[in-house]
Amino acid sequence: MKKILLLMLLPLAVFAQSNKLTKADKIYGLSKFWQEVNYNFVYLNKVDRAQWDSTYKALITSIPETKTDYDYYREMQRFCAMLKDGHTNIYMPSGKDFEPLNTMFGDYRFFIENIENKAIITRVNLSKKDEIPVGSEVIEVNGKPTAKYIAEDVAPYISSSTNYVLQDWSISKLLQGLEGSQFEIKIKKPKGQVLNLKLTHKLTEEKEVFPAFPAESSLLDFKWYPNKLAYVALNSFDDQKIDSLFITKLPELYQAKSIIIDLRNNGGGSTGIGSYILKYLTNDSLLYGSRYSTRQLNSAFKAWGKFTSAKDTANNEWNKKAFLTYQDNYFYNLDYRPLKNQLPAKRIVVPTVLLIGHNTASAAEDFLIYADNQKHMTKIGRNSFGSTGQPYLFDLPGGGSARVCTKKDTYPDGREFVGYGVKPDIEIIPTVKDFMANKDVTLDAAIDYLSKKTK
């Protein structure tokens, strides 16, 4: 009986899965990724090289023995997560065998989010709203306290540059698994009662959820608040159409006494799309964005570097380059030019709040770097995503792929934000109580702040 119970506690898939990759394929894919990281990963100097190489060596033996192709790619993701970078990832092949379920368990469906570092259920299928009240907390998974389960079974597979995004994603993916995967969980309801559930991943036929999904956000959302406060949500810089949408709002925006720019749901896209909008929100003729650098390998200098010591680098640039190249730590600084702002149009320079959060990422963070020295702008919310760069993309055996970050971005003065996030001027951390009351405390704080600024 003990063996049967153990199997029930593990998130195992009971359906047949793809097993097409040969052992040679698996070793090649592993080695390809290891090689490209060693050659191209811009943050290799932050990696524990001894641990990285020893893990690779161990995987050469273990990874060919993975039972399914899905298991192979999971192990690849675990290996990748050692690098702790949000722009360096392993992607599964397409197809049902590689598409895990996250919220559906047949008769049950629920969504989990990180609120106050707790796994809070924020939405359930309508028929279960009384059995599992919104605001309930998942306190145990497969016999382990939730925090321990995350640390051992979820977080090790997620690539993230920041611990807080790692926590967010670990909680949102807490019960992820292929169809047929099984979980035993304990849920603590808002009034303290504990509910035990045995769950199996299966498509949920019931479509209605509580609370209902909000209307899908537009690329750009616009509304007015009292005292001529304009609210503009820029929800993506992935589609240049947002620039045109912004232009259509200019006649109204020129009437604003203050503005809120909401970037909390902007996962990035193109830096140029976002900076075009920013040009209308400042009188500056030059905008200073990120500085870029990338690793540079010159094979001859690496060879010379093996015979160069630190003392040989004193007042000797040649030896310094050789020494650093041998250590995979020589960087090329890309040409830096501030962005010219020569818009002929009227600008809108009024007290402005930038709403930011953990999902403000990549090109949206570039927007924040450009806006860093704008004295009329105040950032309110939580740290941004903390990851950007230029990934190098390549294929892996069996239809999967990978990417490796090749470019390091910093503030113009060299301060780092990758791995830390762009920090708000005023930090607002929503609580479970705020969630239960359906309060957007970050937006409320911005409205209150600007009302005082424009009195």
Give pLDDT, residue 188: 98
Give pLDDT, residue 2: 33
Give pLDDT, residue 18: 81
| Nearest Cα residue to 151 out of 138, 136, 163, 135 | 163
CA distance 307 to 325: 12
CA distance 416 to 89: 21
Mean pLDDT along residues 126-145:
97
Beta pairing, strands 209-210 & 194-200: unpaired
pTM summary value:
0.92
CA distance 246 to 233: 10
Which residues of 275-425 form beta strands (DSSP E)? Answer: 286-287, 291-295, 331-333, 339-340, 352-356, 377-381, 391-395, 401-405, 408-410
Question: Rounded mean pLDDT of the chain?
Answer: 94
For residue 251, is pLDDT > 90? yes
Question: Does a cis peptide bond (omega within 30 degrees of 0) precede residue 211?
Answer: yes
Give pLDDT, residue 17: 74
* Cα-only R_g, the chain: 25
Mean pLDDT along residues 31-47:
97
For residue 445, is pLDDT > 80? yes
Give pLDDT, residue 9: 40
Least-confidence region, from 55-64, 208-217, 307-316, 381-390: 208-217
List, in sequence order, every residue forming a beta bridge with 109; answer none if it has no partner. Answer: 104
Determine contact, residues 302/394, Cβ cutoff 8 Å.
no
pLDDT band at 400 (very low <50, low <70, confident <90, very high): very high
For residue 401, is pLDDT > 80? yes
Query: Residues 256, 259, 262, 268: is their CA dihedral positive or negative?
Result: positive
Environment class of residue 88 by beta-carbon count within 10 Å: exposed (0-12), middle (13-18) or buried (19+)? Answer: buried
CA distance 239 to 241: 5
pLDDT band at 344 (very low <50, low <70, confident <90, very high): confident
Mean pLDDT along residues 420-432:
97
